[in-house]
Amino acid sequence: MSTDTLTPIDALSAIVGAAHVLTGDATDSHARDWAGEHQGTPLAVVRPGSTKEVSEVLKWANRTGTAIVPRGGGTGLTGATAAGGAVLLSMERMRAIREIRPEARVAVVEAGAILSTIHDAVAEHDLIFPLFFGARGSAMLGGALSTNAGGSNVLRYGNTRDLCLGIEAVLPDGQIVNLMSQLHKDNSGYNLRQLLVGAEGTLGVITAAVLRLYPRPRAYATAMVAARDVSAALRLLNRLKTESGGAVEAFEYMPGSYVAAHMARFPEARAPFDAPHDVNILIELGATAPRDAIPAEDGTLPIATLLETALADAFEAGEILDAVVAQSDSQRMEMWARREASAEVCLLREPLVHNDVAVPLDRMQELLDEIAAIIARLDPGAQDISVAHLGDGNLHFAVWPENPDPALHHTIHMAVEEAVVALGGSFSAEHGIGTEKLPEMQAFKDPAALAAMRAIKQALDPKGILNPGKLIPAG
């Protein structure tokens, strides 16, 4: 009997099994994102266990015109997985690491695999999958691919897009597309893999991927640095990149106001320096070559000596005001814990006005100055707790306003994004569009580019069943 004659719940149960179709209160944990800002009760939560089952679900949805919203670990921040009234397709059962090939430095992994699980698996081969961010303990690979997630190591390794060699996906009509190439060079037509990465589940459901792996650094050199200003910090970054041969893995910015908020949220934590500073930078270098990682006769690590020498030179030049170099792995983890707690710090107070934006590196100081002027003009009592992946120009603007007026919060939000665009930047750096940034897509995205995106969506998903209302504003 055709599933088209069944109720939606019975039809979906026939495909994946009744135990894997959740309804009513059982959908609560899937019906909201981690911050609780975007939520809606889905018609059902469907948990396929294979690419074939995903294909059958999408065939049924395409025939019946039923909206499907793919979902990973639920760590998104823009409403891309809000599924009120739709069928939410959870990838949580498809978490297999199908293959790790150490010699080729690739892994074949299903979309539901949690990032930290991938990290642990490839570490057994002395390799890394260098996609690291605070939510890696719950974020799934499919979500990271669908949003082209960034994180703290983009500076050295690139975004998720750069870490993916191949894709397996299911198109809106249920066709399975095998793009699981393990090649570094493949000029055989349109790059459909790159089209699906970052599409937020609007063009297809990613079910597996071929991931690029890298040698695990043999040693790290990590430091907290107080810089005179952001421009001075970026000059230090450029010197470190040159002198280390590209070994800078992270260059993270935290203003003094964020450090103070972190201390309020975690009173047991230590301050980074004896005295507070306005510009605090977390720097990490990773050494893969033995010459940089084997201790000298006096026990010092060459990579750490390089960092300490560069910091001493910057101090003499007046570019940095203080520095603390981690002397143990526990001290390194303490430094990282400060930066990776930003999401928890932001939730310390409400409301929160926030943006995920990017500008060219040499415009970051201008952007921060402009943001300070915006806050001083619109809400002088507001507290800026922004942090940044400074090495790649990605600012996570966040401010606790003093004025409770939501209209003013919107004005601040838009003023910051207008400043970003004026500086040649993007209103979305690594979090994606979802529903939250549809107005910005309409206001700032090139009209011809939007028209092309709509044409691609119409060609691949003419019935509009896949993640409708996300990423692309209505024409």
Tell me, yes or no, whether 465 lies in a domain.
Answer: no
Convert the pLDDT of each residue in 136-191 to its tens digit: 999 999 999 999 999 899 999 999 999 999 999 999 999 999 999 999 999 999 99
Kindly state whether residues 287 and 335 are assigned to the same domain.
yes
Predicted confidence (pLDDT) at residue 355 exceeds the cutoff of 70: yes
Residues 159 and 175 in one domain: yes
Does one domain contain both 226 and 335? yes
**What would the two tokens of residue 41 be?**
């009760």
272 with 288, same domain? yes
The domain spanning residue 166 has which CATH number?
3.30.465.10
Q: What is the mean pLDDT of the chain?
A: 95
The 10s digit of each residue's pLDDT in 379-400 is: 999 999 999 999 999 999 999 9
What is the distance between the alpha carbons of residues 261 and 267, in angstroms, rounded to a whole number? Answer: 10
- pLDDT for residue 346 is more than 90: yes
Rounded Cα distance between 389 and 191, Å, is 28
Q: How far, in Å, CA of 306 to CA of 289, rounded?
A: 14
Return the pLDDT at 34. Answer: 66
Judge residue 242's burial from the number of C-beta atoms within 10 Å of its C-beta, 0-12 exposed, 13-18 middle, 19 or more buried: exposed
Of residues 107 and 37, the one with the higher pLDDT is 107
pLDDT tens-digit profile of 119-134? 999 999 999 999 998 8
83 domain-assigned: yes
Question: Reduced to 3 states, what is the DSSP secondary structure of residue 91?
Answer: coil
Neighbours of 181 (CB within 10 A): 14
Measure Cα distances from 457 to 206, 428, 445, 474 in Å. Answer: 16, 20, 16, 12
Structure tokens at 97: 């690491």
- The domain containing residue 12 runs over which residues? 3-90
Domain boundary among 295, 314, 342: 342
* Token pair of 234 as six digits: 């970026």
The pairing of strands 87-90 and 44-46 is parallel
- Please indicate, yes or no, if residue 391 is contained in any of the structural domains: yes
Could you give phi then psi for residue 231, rounded to 5 degrees? -65, -40
The answer on 62 and 164 residing in a single domain is no
Q: 77 pLDDT exceeds 90?
A: no
3-state secondary structure of 322: strand
Question: In residues, how long is the chain?
Answer: 475
> pLDDT tens digits, residue range 271-285?
999 999 999 999 999
> Is this prediction's pTM over 0.85?
yes
- Nearest CA to 375 out of 351, 349, 403 is that of 403
Query: Residue 415: which CATH number?
Result: 3.30.70.2740
What local confidence, expressed as pLDDT, does residue 347 receive?
Answer: 87
- Rounded CA-CA distance 93/109 in Å is 13
Check whether 5 has a pLDDT greater than 90: no
**Are residues 314 and 395 located together in one domain of the fold?**
no
Nearest-angstrom CA–CA distance, 366 and 373: 11
Residue 410 makes CB contacts below 8 A (sequence gap 6+) with none
